[in-house]
Amino acid sequence: MSTYALSPTVAAPEVQASRFRRYQSETRLLVGRSLRTIPHVPERLSDVTIQPIVFTLLFLYVFGSAIHVPGMRYQDFLLPGLLGQSIAFGVIGAGVATAGDFSSGVTDRFKSLPVTRLSVISAQVVGQVIEQVLGIVIVAGLGLALGWRPDLDLASGAALVGLVLLGLVAFTWFGVLLGMLVRSSDAVQGLGFAIVFPLSFLAGTFVPIEGMSAIPRTIAEWDPISAFVASVRRLAQGTRSTGSWQLEHPIVSMVGWCLLLMAVCVPLALRRFTRMSS
Amino acid sequence: MEASPPPAVRARGLTKRYGDLTAVDRLDLEVAPHEVLALLGPNGAGKTTTVRMIATLERPTAGTLQVCGHDVATDADAVRRSIALTGQFAALEDNLTAAENLTLVARLRGHPRSAAARLVDELVERFQIGDFRNSLVKQVSGGQRRRVDLAASLVTRPDLLVLDEPTTGLDPRSRQIVWSTVRELVADGITLLLTTQYLEEADVLADRIVLIDRGCAVASGTPAELKGAIGEQRVDVAPTDPGSVDQLASILAERFELEVDRERRSISIPAPGEASDLAVVAALVRDSGIEVEEVALRRPTLDDAFLALTGHEPTTGADEHDDEPEGAAA
């Protein structure tokens, strides 16, 4: 016979830890939950592993053979582009994961537990950023193996890492908000590919913006992802881009876009999250 | 002894509107400590919305709602510490194992790692999860999922357990397993609020049933009271030849009080003895040599209950909130 008798032999812990300590440990547990699912569904990582590898190989060896960028090797042009694109694709990954959690009811479970609301949403962001970083490392590693020669010193290297992380965090918040608003993984995927995909191609990622015809060139000149790509290119290769203010000042623009994105998305996401709950 | 605890649920004029649609309409509801209350109603009656407000997942538009003495509007965190919710859709991480899901909830409830491990072992034994404790939740059956979900709700003994349609969509065998688990919890003195569309489920599990329709409580009482008002189970006999209805009725009338509906060729007999009455009727019919199309035991349905208690059929399908709890929160 079971001796469980519903009054667990393990007493319910009195919550004594400070709010901040609780927030930290809850966030850590929830990030752990998100990362622990990866071995069970490795295909979930395909958008940060296989996809960038395919893109790198496809553009380096297939399309790249017909693309000539004046004054630089195609590897050195392409890799910063791919890194910028990877940052932007974080929206899709974060959106799909968030929408999935909300539609499956697992978020409801977390929210009906005495868990800080902020930790549920922070864990979503942190978990996603970790996954995206993995993708970035894969792209950069593969690029280096295939002949990418970034020209980095300690300062510009640190700046590059910081900039990439900032971009990932901002786009992940955007994705989390999108996932909460749309609430269907398939719809987020569709929306992501309809908007982010073309914008990430227009951004001077694979071919120089200067060579585009008028309409795509105008879009590209103001596409936020162009600022990402141009920033990475400026830091990694010292390339100066021209065409619009943001292309001439890519780093400032990129930081600005990220801060703007977070200033809009973070409060909206938090508000959305608490309004859907209490 | 200590002062008597506050009611587990105390709702006054509880209302939830989504735009023009009123999902819950001035609902008064009280669940006493150690009571098992079933909220019985059709899809779209407002059951899930009510449960979601109790679980602090939705904010009431109007009215007051206290759960275990804590106001949901001002002290949601205390409410969350007092209750456990098992929703209509088992809220588990599909891509973790049963044991990993339980561990996560135990840790989030604040148990340290070693205590959580012991607790999970206990829950696995108690809810007979051993066979699939290391299987991914997405790979186990619907009934097994519900058991894991129930176990997750009982990581700490809640002052109020809320089960939202615990057996909707389950096969009869899984339903029996969930019922027996819930009965054990009830025998253990847990306070339970249960929503269901099945009269039988409310009858089997609850001390008291509140009938809900279009967000309003339309009747309430013990299962016996409600069944008394609805009427007994009946055995219906349908002779193949309409001309033999009277002949068969006169044979059966020697043993039973009955109602005859000639237009529908049906003889209806109250059957408080359930299967034994059915057997007697069947034997009489066989001995009479009259050919029949059907001899069947009919249990009163949710529709019968509504008809008997409110004079109208339940409103179904009018709103989607019970189907899609996430559907229209705005």
pLDDT tens, residue by residue, A110-163: 888 888 888 888 999 999 999 999 989 999 999 999 989 998 899 999 999 999
Please answer yes or no on whether B119 and A37 come within 8 Å at the CB atom.
no
Q: Find the domain containing A100 and state its range.
A: 46-275
Which pLDDT does position B169 carry in this prediction?
81
Which pLDDT does position B253 carry in this prediction?
87
Which pLDDT does position B319 carry in this prediction?
40
Which pLDDT does position B90 carry in this prediction?
61
Q: How far is B314 from chain A (nearest CA, A)?
A: 28
Which pLDDT does position B219 carry in this prediction?
86
pLDDT tens, residue by residue, A79-98: 999 999 998 888 998 999 89
Residue A67 token pair: 């693309």
Q: Within an 8 Å CB–CB cutoff, is residue B328 touching chain A?
A: no
Q: What distances in angstroms separate CA A160 from CA A86, A154, A234, B298, one per listed residue?
A: 14, 10, 10, 74
Evaluate whether residue A235 is within a structural domain: yes
Evaluate whether residue A237 is within a structural domain: yes
Q: What's the CATH number for B232-299?
A: 3.30.70.980
Q: Within an 8 Å CB–CB cutoff, is residue A110 touching chain B?
A: yes
Q: Within an 8 Å CB–CB cutoff, is residue A35 touching chain B?
A: no
Which pLDDT does position A12 carry in this prediction?
57
- Within 13 Å and on the Cβ side, how many CA atoms surround A276? 23
Spatial strand order in the sheet of B62-67: B21-31, B9-18, B62-67, B70-71
CATH of B9-228, one of 3.40.470.10, 3.90.1150.10, 3.40.50.300, 3.30.565.10: 3.40.50.300
Question: Region A217-235: what's the mean pLDDT?
Answer: 92
pLDDT tens, residue by residue, A161-204: 999 999 999 999 999 999 999 888 899 999 888 988 899 988 88
3-state helix, strand, coil split of chain A in percent (to 5) is 75, 0, 25
Evaluate whether residue A9 is within a structural domain: no
3-state secondary structure of A275: helix
Evaluate whether residue A25 is within a structural domain: no
- Residues of chain A with Cβ-Cβ distance to B188 below 8 Å are 5-6
Q: What is the pTM of this model?
A: 0.76
- Is residue B85 within 8 Å of residue B153, measured between CB atoms? yes
Which pLDDT does position A165 carry in this prediction?
95
Which pLDDT does position B12 carry in this prediction?
95
Which pLDDT does position B14 carry in this prediction?
95
Looking at every residue in chain A, the average pLDDT score rounds to: 86
Which pLDDT does position A250 carry in this prediction?
92
Number of domains in chain A: 1
User: How many Å apart are CA B215 and CA A216, to the nearest integer?
Assistant: 54
The residue with greater pLDDT, A162 or A38, is A162
For Cα atoms B119, B123, B127, give the angle at the middle one, nearest 5 degrees.
175
Query: Which A positions 88-107 lie with beta carbon below 8 A of chain B?
Result: 102-106
Burial classification of residue B256, based on how many CB atoms lie within 10 Å of its CB (0-12 exposed, 13-18 middle, 19 or more buried):
middle
Q: Within an 8 Å CB–CB cutoff, is residue B51 touching chain A?
A: no
Of the candidates A43, A256, A265, A254, the residue with the CA atom closest to the CA atom of residue A164: A254
Which pLDDT does position A137 carry in this prediction?
93
Task: Tell me which residues of chain B have a pLDDT lower than 70.
Answer: 1-3, 88-90, 274, 311, 314-330
> Which ipTM was obtained for this model?
0.78
Q: Where are the domains of chain B?
A: 9-228, 232-299
Of the candidates B231, B274, B268, the residue with the CA atom closest to the CA atom of residue B252: B268
Q: How far is A105 from chain B (nearest CA, A)?
A: 5
pLDDT tens, residue by residue, A227-278: 999 999 999 988 888 888 888 999 999 999 999 999 999 999 988 887 654 3
Please answer yes or no on whether A33 and B96 come within 8 Å at the CB atom.
yes
Q: Within an 8 Å CB–CB cutoff, is residue A213 touching chain B?
A: no
Which H helix or E strand runs over A240? Answer: none
Evaluate whether residue A39 is within a structural domain: no
- Is residue B247 within 8 Å of residue B241, measured between CB atoms? no
Nearest to B56 among A15, A112, A183 (CB): A112
